[in-house]
Amino acid sequence: MKRIAVFTSGGDAPGMNAGVRAVVRSASSKGLHVFGIYRGYQGMIEGDIKRLEKANVSNIIHRGGTILKTARSMEFMTADGRKQAAESLSAHDIDGVIAIGGNGTFTGANIFYEEHGIPFVGMPGTIDNDLYGTDFTIGFDTACNTAIDAIDKIRDTADSHNRLFFIEVMGRHSGYIGLYTGIGSGASGILIPEKDNDTNSLIVTLRKAIKKKKLFSLVVVAEGDESGGAAHIANKVQEEFPQFETKVTIIGHLQRGGSPTCADRILASRLGHAAVEGLLEGKQNVMAGIVNNKVKFTDFKDCITKSKVPNKELLSLGEILAMG
């Protein structure tokens, strides 16, 4: 293996640039030529591929987003699109590819490998932390810290005005951000997709808070909670507790941006180096992850099909601490 490529795909996540930097510098130290594929699979189809030297990745470890850009490609979902992408890689004599992204990225890579046999190694880059095969994904820690910082500021207003705030965080199918930010911010309630009957449990918790004469409450809601979004749940609670003035804040895409935390920079750096080593060892169609602080490679099929849910201890902890 002499020439490899790296690209970022799907939603951007803080730490992706640190991952690209690690890939380029680790590969260069092994005598490999590295190419950056711009705009994900769409750039692969269009041949938007450029050589990356060490100097190209200087001073990017602290930057959010991705210097390689990202795009969603409907064209890559077709056999003709994937054939064109394979021809673009062949034109640049690419021997292997490192893909930084999430479930959709690895689904595409898995199909592409089966059709064209080009080795892929993935790196988990998504703020949702929902990929099987790694304890944490690149961007998750930064997203949680961003959300907690926002919630801490909202707490000041909630306290001053005796208001009940419902704060919606990202997590359409995964409640990791909601759970971690809820516990980390001292929320009075945490509503995530992995828990049933959230609204009823919340009402019980708020009744207990009223008996203790607690003056205000913060409730963290994952956008994909089965009971509905923050605004829908706030309306239900307002009907139950008309004495409360309820407010809704949706943090939204703020969680995707910003300078990555130290934890995300180190995670991305470890995984970037591991992905290069994996390609050189002949690994293919796998994702490099960190499990119990050790590098582990997991087949794309398992990453895609197996579910990853928060452990019961954390779920229980969130409920216990909310009753304080």
**Structure tokens that stand for 141 in this block:** 């820690």
**Largest separation between any pair of C-alpha atoms in the chain:** 71
Q: What is the Cα 284 distance to its own chain's centre?
A: 22
Give the torsion through C-alpha atoms of 52, 56, 60, 65, to 10 deg: -50
Q: Is 128 a catalytic residue?
A: yes
217-222 and 286-291: which strand pairing?
unpaired
Number of Cβ atoms within 10 Å of the Cβ of 251: 22
In order of 9, 16, 67, the CA distances from 63 in angstroms are 17, 9, 9
Are residues 223 and 170 in contact, defined by beta-carbon separation less than 8 angstroms? yes
| The one catalytic residue among 12, 80, 95, 128 | 128
Q: CA 62, CA 18: separation in Å to the nearest integer?
A: 7
Place of tokens 């970037």: 272
Q: How many CA atoms are closer than 13 Å to the CA of 125, on its beta-carbon side?
A: 37
In order of 155, 190, 191, 313, the CA distances from 203 in angstroms are 20, 12, 12, 22
Enumerate the active-site residues: 128
